[in-house]
Amino acid sequence: MALMRSQSRQGTQHRDGKRVGLKVKDSVEEGGLLEYFFGKDGQEKLKHGRFVQFLKDLHDEILRLEFSHYDTRSVGTISVKDFALSLVASADMCHLNKLLDRVDEIDGEPSLRDLRISFQEFKDFAELRKMLQSFSLAIFSYGKVKGLLTKRDFQRAASQVCGISITSNVVDIIFHLFDANRDGNLSSKEFIRAVQRCESNGAQAREAGVKGLISCWSSCASSCNSSKLLL
């Protein structure tokens, strides 16, 4: 906890462990995550499997929060345009204006504008982005000469290499955003470059020790806040 506090601006202001301004006198070590992980007396052992499951549940909950920002009526699906915005939200800033223009073009596409995206589809694509390094190698292998991909190539790469099924609706949206010249082939370099910004931040989680864990949680929080800014 001391190491985690040293990594944040707020934490450096109360390294003694006291929470300031919350009308409490207890240490931050009492209750919360530490009690959940190690019991009320702090003496229980935290098993690796339980901690991995906690991180997975945390990731899933953040995805649900992001999805709910778009699913304002709680119908279980979001519009194709909102899904496209969620893809663009993590893109490199130098490509943002061009991608936002393509999002706006969805309203003029009869085959796309009425589509709805489920949470499972939303989650599956998020899982694919987490495996971006493996997927980028896969699409170069499955693609045609010069790294061009058809929609079928994209789905085969995701399924056979990453074990993730991407629906035709999601693939149609991806190609609308990233098929720059509308020739039915996706430039794998352009797609990877556009989505890798978010995942390069997430890669910090592979750092060793507490610092890596802090980076992981910080990236999750930043991603969640970024989605709110779009609304």
What's the rounded Cα separation, in Å, for the pair 164 and 155?
Answer: 9
Instruction: Note the pTM of the prediction, 2 decimals.
Output: 0.65
Classify the phi-psi angles of 23: left when phi > 0, otherwise alpha if psi is within -120 to 50, otherwise beta.
left
Instruction: Answer yes or no: are the C-beta atoms of 216 and 204 closer than 8 Å.
Output: yes
| Alpha-carbon gap, residue 152 to 147, rounded angstroms | 14
Residue 157 pLDDT = 83
DSSP state for residue 47 in the 8-state scheme: P
Predicted confidence at residue 225, as pLDDT, reads 47
Provide the H-helix boundaries in the chain. 2-6, 32-38, 48-70, 80-88, 96-104, 119-130, 132-142, 151-162, 168-178, 188-202, 209-229
Quick one: which H or E segment has residue 187? strand 186-187
pLDDT, tens only, 66-101: 899 999 889 999 999 999 998 887 676 777 888 899
Q: What is the DSSP letter of 105?
A: G
- For residue 90, how many other CB atoms are within 10 A of its CB? 19
More confident residue, 141 or 38: 38
pLDDT score, position 27: 52
H or E segment to which residue 78 belongs: strand 77-79
Residue 201 has pLDDT above 70, yes or no: no
Assigned token pair, 9: 């601006």
Both tokens of 27, joined, read 């240490």
pLDDT by residue (tens digit) across 94-125?
Answer: 778 888 999 999 999 999 999 999 999 999 99
Do 69 and 122 meet the contact criterion of CB atoms below 8 Å apart? no
Based on C-alpha coordinates, what's the Rg of the chain? Answer: 21
Phi, psi of 74 (to 5 degrees): 55, 45
φ, ψ (nearest 5 deg) of residue 88 = -70, -30
Residue 162 pLDDT > 80: yes
Tokens 């993590």 belong to 90
> Of 102, 96, 121, whose CA–CA distance to 171 is shortest?
121
Tell me the C-alpha distance between 179 and 29, whole Å: 51
Question: Which has more confidence, 5 or 170?
Answer: 170
pLDDT of 213 higher than 80 = no
Q: What is the mean pLDDT of the chain?
A: 74
Angle, CA of 65, 61 and 13, to the nearest 5° = 85
**3-class SS of residue 16:** coil
Q: Could you tell me if 211 and 116 are in contact, meaning their C-beta atoms sit under 8 angstroms apart?
A: no
